[in-house]
Amino acid sequence: MKMISRIGLLILTNLAVVIVIGILMRVLGLDVALAGKGLQPMALLAYSMIAGFSGAFISLLLSKFMAKWTTGAKVIESPRDETEAWLFATVERLARGAQINRPEIAIYDSEDMNAFATGAFRNSALVAVSTGLLRGMSREAVEGVLAHEIAHVANGDMITMTLVQGVLNTFVIFLSRVVGYAVDKLVLRNDDRRGPGIGYTITVILSQIVLGILASLIASWYSRRREFRADAGSAKLNGKGPMIAALRRLQAEHDPPALPESMRAFGIHGGGGGLSALFRSHPALEDRIAALERS
C-alpha cells in the first residue's frame, strides 16, 4: 500500500504540474501566441508525457535483463556450495522480514565490492552481489549490504525512481520545444509556413542539454535520499551494526566502483567529490555512517 500511494502521489503531482503549466500559459496568452506560430501546447504536453514516461518504463521493464547482460551476473537456481547456501538463506530471511517474495539471487565476477537490486516489481526483483564483495567483506557486513538491497526492493525504489525520471523527461522534452518555438518564431521572426527553421532545431538541442543537466541534478538528489532510506531499512531489518561495518569496509577502498555506468546508481556505493558530488547517485560514505549512528 505504501508503494501504491507513492506511485499515485507522483502521478498526481505530475498531472497537477502539467495542469498548472497549461493554466499559466492560458493566463499569459502564451498558448494562443504559440498556437498562432504553429505550436499546440496541450498536444505537446501530451506528447511529452508519453515520450518521457515510455522511455523510463521501457528501461524499468528491461532492467533485470540489462543488469544480467551488462554485468554478466549468473542467477543461482539452487545453491552449489556452502557460500551460496548461506546467501540464499540470508536473502530469504531478509525478504521475509521485509514482507516481499525472495528476489532472484545472482553473483557476478568483479573485484569491486558491490551489489545491486533491480526489477520492475517488488515481488519479482533481482539482487546481485559481486565476487569481490563476498571475498572482501565479513559475512556480517555482507548481511548489511543484502539488507540494504532488500530495503530498496521493499521500498519500491526502482519504480519510484522510474516515475521521477519520467516526470523529469516530460518537462525536458516539453520546455525545450517551447523555448525552441519561442526563439524561432517570436525572437527570430521565422514565418516559414513549412515549419520550424534552423533556429528551432539548434535551440531545442541546446535547451535539452541545459535542462537535462538540471534534471540530472534533481534525479541525483533523489537517488541520494533513497540511499539513506535503504540504509535505515537495512538497520531495521538486520540492525545497524552490519551496515555500518559494510560502509566502513568500503571506506578503506579507494578504487572507483566497477559497475557499468547504466547500473552505477543501483550499486551499494559510488560517486566522487567536489562539484561532481552534486551528480552522484550515492551520498558520501561518512555521511551515511553518521546518519546510521545517529539513528
Catalytic residues: 149
- 108 beta partners: 130
* Burial of residue 228 (number of CB atoms within 10 Å: 0-12, 13-18, 19+): middle
- 130 beta partners: 108
Give the span between the Cα atoms of 5 and 110, in whole angstroms. 37
For the CA atoms of the chain, what is the radius of gyration? 22
Question: What's the longest Cα–Cα distance across the chain?
Answer: 73
CB atoms within 10 A of CB 40: 12
Strands (DSSP E) contained in the chain are: 74-75, 104-108, 115-118, 126-130
| Parallel, antiparallel or unpaired: strands 115-118 and 126-130 | antiparallel
CB atoms within 10 A of CB 94: 26
| Amino acid identity, position 10 | L
Q: 3-state SS string over 137-205? A: CCHHHHHHHHHHHHHHHHCCHHHHHHHHHHHHHHHHHHHHHHHHHHHHHHHCCCCCCCCCCHHHHHHHH
Cell of 115: 551489489
Helix (H, G, I), strand (E, B) or coil at 24: helix
